[in-house]
């Protein structure tokens, strides 16, 4: 399969699953297992998570095609880190200037992050083979990354990136249904 075709197939697939992942938790009846992988509130972290989940799922496809490439694990780790760094960096930068969140810009950031993530993956995959030490370190990094992904969903740190701007709460407790508002005490 042509690398350019596969690159764009990945971008479209990750974008589609990520977009739907914004709604999976509500659609599942607030199933906590689904909530580990889907957005459970409107925090920046949950929006990062809906780019990470489909990128992890996409590992089954790109791992099949590129898993024997010595740069694969490093490329995957860098592509995931690109998502985690790009989204909050751009979101909080423009929000600092505009003093508010702008939905069309937030959506654009989501899709640009996915494109940059996939482009970084393919840029690293096509490099000359890296030393085996990068493979080992990247594998360890991926395990740590996935562990943090799960932990921060279950027990978010009390920081701005994890706080739902609607309820000012964290994690599963922050979930709000925009169609059914309850009075807060």
Dump pLDDT digits (tens) for 134-158. Answer: 999 999 999 999 999 989 988 999 9
* Main-chain phi, psi angles of 2, to 5 degrees: -65, 135
Q: Residue 53's CB: how many other CB atoms inside 10 A?
A: 20
Position 178 pLDDT exceeds 60:
no
DSSP state of 144: H
Closest C-alpha to 14, from 72, 60, 71, 78: 60
- Dist CA 82 CA 76 (whole Å): 10
Q: Once rounded to an integer, what is the mean pLDDT over residues 68-91?
A: 96
Closest C-alpha to 39, from 59, 55, 60, 53: 53
Position 103 pLDDT exceeds 60:
yes
3-state class of 170 per DSSP? strand
- Dist CA 65 CA 63 (whole Å): 5
Name 103's bridge partners: none
CA distances (Å), 115 to each of 8, 14, 48, in order? 9, 9, 14
pLDDT single digits (tens) 83-94: 999 999 999 999
- Dist CA 95 CA 106 (whole Å): 10
Residue 116 — very low, low, confident or very high, per pLDDT cuts 50/70/90? very high
The predicted pLDDT at position 185 comes to 42
**Can you give the residue ranges of every domain in the chain?**
3-173
pTM score, whole prediction: 0.89
- Dist CA 83 CA 117 (whole Å): 6
Name 163's bridge partners: 170
């Amino acid at each position: 399969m042509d690398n350019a075709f596969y690159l764009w197939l990945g971008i479209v697939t990750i974008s589609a699953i990520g977009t739907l992942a914004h709604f999976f938790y509500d659609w599942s009846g607030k199933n906590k297992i689904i909530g580990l992988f889907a957005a459970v509130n409107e925090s920046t972290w949950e929006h990062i998570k809906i780019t990470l989940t489909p990128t992890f799922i996409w590992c089954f496809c790109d791992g099949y095609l590129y898993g024997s490439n010595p740069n694969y694990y490093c490329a995957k780790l860098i592509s995931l880190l690109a998502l985690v760094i790009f989204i909050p960096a751009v979101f909080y930068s423009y929000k600092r200037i505009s003093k508010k969140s702008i939905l069309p810009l937030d959506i654009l950031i989501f899709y640009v992050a996915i494109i940059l993530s996939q482009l970084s993956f393919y840029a690293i995959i096509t490099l000359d083979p890296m030393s085996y030490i990068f493979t080992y370190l990247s594998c360890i990094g991926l395990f740590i990354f996935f562990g943090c992904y799960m932990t921060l969903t279950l027990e978010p740190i009390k920081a701005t990136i994890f706080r739902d701007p609607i309820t000012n709460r964290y994690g599963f407790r922050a979930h709000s249904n925009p169609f059914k508002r309850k009075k807060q005490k």
